[in-house]
Amino acid sequence: MTEDSQRNFRSVYYEKVGFRGVEEKKSLEILLKDDRLDIEKLCTFSQRFPLPSMYRALVWKVLLGILPPHHESHAQVMMYRKEQYSDVLHALRVVRFVSDATPQVEVYLRMYQLESGKLPRSPSFPRPKAFEQYLNLEDSRLLSHLKTCSAVSKLPYDLWFKRCFAGCLPESSLQRVWDKVVSGSCKILVFVAVEILLTFKIKVMALNSAEKITKFLENIPQDSSDAIVSKAIDLWHKHCGTPVHSA
């Protein structure tokens, strides 16, 4: 039996006996033992599997470029990053782009935008056409209802795409979405938004005004969040394919 066959057999066995994720966790630990972390493989792993909570912070920092691939540099680089954080925050306060009243998620967004040279003159978020495209493919009748109610332009896009569902989904579900975002697949956000509408289709179809639809979507029930994220990931794979490791 080849090494790949053995690995596949173990994965199936672990899943059948209720230990799904054991093999994936071991695979990640092997990747993290390398002297120089392989960014491409970490990205692919993050897109295919949920990251174990004990390794999530480290993997996110490496994928976002906060920490370098080399382990021996991590401590010193983190010290520099803390100084950098203070400097950027001070700059945003001086130009009055953030204040003590600014939500923390907004502060983090502005810091990233300033660092990357993308700080906008206007905070408004453009409505993504991809959202309408995929919603139409999945349920054209639902999209038609939103258009009839003049709700398409008033959906909570800032909450969904600007805040990346922070404040919409509970932390446990949010982490699974951000695993994909951090590893470079921002399109997952579109499919989470589509799946929210599909999950609550009956409720949304019963509402006849843009204001009522938006108000409901800004405060969706939390007990369905894990299922929504799982189905959104399935939709993402359905329309965009499943990432694979490169040789």
- In a structure prediction context, what are the per-residue pLDDT tens digits for the chain, which is 247 residues long? 555 555 555 555 555 544 556 688 889 999 999 989 999 999 999 999 999 999 999 999 999 999 999 999 999 999 999 999 999 999 999 878 888 988 888 898 889 888 888 887 655 555 588 999 999 999 999 999 999 999 999 999 989 998 899 999 999 999 999 999 888 888 999 999 999 999 999 999 999 999 999 999 999 999 999 999 999 999 999 998 876 554 3
Under a CB-based contact definition with an 8 Å cutoff, are residues 23 and 10 in contact? yes
Q: What length does the chain have?
A: 247
* 3-class SS string, 100-145: CCCCHHHHHHHHHHHHCCCCCCCCCCCCCHHHHHHHHHHCHHHHHH
List the beta bridge partners of residue 18: none
Could you give the CA distance from residue 113 to residue 15 in angstroms, rounded to a whole number? 41
pTM, whole model, 2 decimals? 0.73
Q: Same topology for domains 13-64 and 128-240, yes or no?
A: no
Q: How many CB atoms lie within 10 A of CB 180?
A: 25
Domain range 13-64, its CATH number among 3.90.850.10, 1.10.10.750, 3.40.190.10, 2.60.40.1180: 1.10.10.750
The answer as to CATH 1.10.472.80 being correct for domain 128-240 is yes
For the chain, the domains span 13-64, 73-116, 128-240
Cα–Cα distance for residue pair 194/177, rounded to 1 Å = 14
Q: 168: buried, middle or exposed (CB in 10 Å: 19+, 13-18, 0-12)? A: buried
